[in-house]
Amino acid sequence: MGMLDEDDERFMGEALKEAQDADAADEVPVGAVVIRYGRVIGRGHNQRQQLSDPTAHAEMIALTAAAAFVGDWRLSECTMYVTLEPCAMCAGAMVLARIERLVFGAEDPKTGACGSLYTITSDPRSNHQVKVTSGVLEEESRRLLQEFFQRQRALGKK
């Protein structure tokens, strides 16, 4: 039972809304949503600055919200949509949560752990692998990040 591409684009649009919320809060614009049975059950966007928490990535916040919604740490019937390829921490958390599928927008050649730098989500040595689809609304996701970092550099921040 595969999801339709239009569903992928629709739910990635929800992740992009989260990324825009991060952008508005002067956080790196990454957004994530967790879907179960065609419904958003967890949302998150980067809040590292706001919470002074290095683990406050969009994916971690969305996973925590989804687990609270389900009432279980196992999210085996869920799909994670995220605007940027997850890092090692977030990819590891998805494996541990038994996320069924990951859909992401832009690749992250510097810290991506779902195919770019590492392949944590599909490592056969793990007891669970996550199916990965990349490149969904990639341009929109990348543009949001590029514009954010251009503004930050113009302000002498990053």
Evaluate whether 59 touches 77 at the Cβ level (below 8 Å): no
**How big is the chain by its Cα radius of gyration, in Å?**
15
Nearest to 13 by CA among 91, 103, 76: 103
CB atoms near residue 7 (< 10 Å): 15
Helix (H) or strand (E) run with residue 50 in it: helix 48-51
Is 9 among the catalytic positions?
no
Helix (H) or strand (E) run with residue 7 in it: helix 5-24
Give me the catalytic one of 27, 59, 85, 107: 59
Active site residues: 59
